[in-house]
Amino acid sequence: MMAPLVAGMVWYFLYNGTFGWYHWLLQSLGILGPKSILASADTAMIGLVLVDVWQWTPLITLITLAGLKRVPQDQLEANMVDGASPLRNFFSVTLPNLYPVLLIAIMLRFMDNFRFIDSILVLTGGGPGNATKILPVYLFEVSFKFFKLGRGAAIALILLIVTIILGKLLVRVFDRQQPSKRRKSRRPQDSPCAAPNRFVIVAAAARDRRAPQPRTEPAAKFGTHARAAPCKRPATAMPPRRREKTA
């Protein structure tokens, strides 16, 4: 991994309009004119985005690779036996298992972008004009260039609150996308050995009274509700009783 300041210095020389290798390549392809990519307000932000992507893509790749190692292979093989295509396998098995790992990676990059300032100060300093003056750069200038510490503290607090709120929303979105693994707990009424609910018994009896009963069956006067099978409990062997010795 490389420090953002060092990465900014490396790309400063690559973007240089005189001897920069990237500047020469883009100018040879007809994409850029004589100006450097950082000297134009239209392309300066694109250059900064390329620096950030180049610096942090290996970290995201390693995190995603670690997530791919934890994908259960038995589910993939079962889907393949059922005739699922590799694309279907990816969306139904691989991607749901990657949701926690992708959440961590996106949260890291999300928080890093709210404090992305090192490379900007090295490459453009917020210019040309105000083309690359994002909120962290403005916070730095207010606090340490104009020494308005009260306003800088207020901006930093608002930035922290916005980061927390957007992070919570991001976590909620990923929780909705992730398939639920919770199993419904079995209610005690579902067990055959559980005590019956009084409300259920009263409601069943009232329903049987209101239902028309056929006269040909005398047993129907007492209700047609089927009797539940007795609960069979496992028999336990009782220890033999000791006989008392009589004198």
- Write out pLDDT tens, residues 199-221: 445 455 556 555 555 555 444 44
Would you state the pLDDT for residue 188?
44
The string of pLDDT tens digits covering residues 56-100 is 999 999 999 999 998 988 988 898 888 888 899 999 899 888 988
- Could you tell me the sign of the dihedral formed by the alpha carbons of 192, 195, 196, 197, in that order? negative
Q: Within a 10 A sphere around the Cβ of 161, how many other Cβ atoms?
A: 10
Q: What is the mean pLDDT of residues 173-201?
A: 53
Rounded Cα gap, residues 138 and 152, in angstroms: 9
Helices assigned H by DSSP within the chain: 4-14, 21-28, 44-69, 73-81, 86-89, 95-113, 118-123, 135-140, 149-177, 198-210
Which two three-digit tokens encode residue 163?
Answer: 């980061």
Would you state the pLDDT for residue 215?
54
Which two three-digit tokens encode residue 94?
Answer: 């691989």
- Could you tell me the sign of the dihedral formed by the alpha carbons of 42, 47, 52, 58, in that order? positive
Which residue, 59, 53, 47, 54, is CA-closest to 17? 47
In single-letter form, the type of residue at position 190 comes to D
Tell me the chain's radius of gyration from C-alpha atoms.
35
Owner of token pair 């957007």: 166
CB 174 within 8 A of CB 99: yes
Answer with the residue of higher pLDDT: 247 or 13.
13
The string of pLDDT tens digits covering residues 14-48 is 998 888 888 899 888 888 888 889 988 889 999 99
Q: Is 21 helix (H, G, I), strand (E, B) or coil?
A: helix
Helix (H) or strand (E) holding 136: helix 135-140
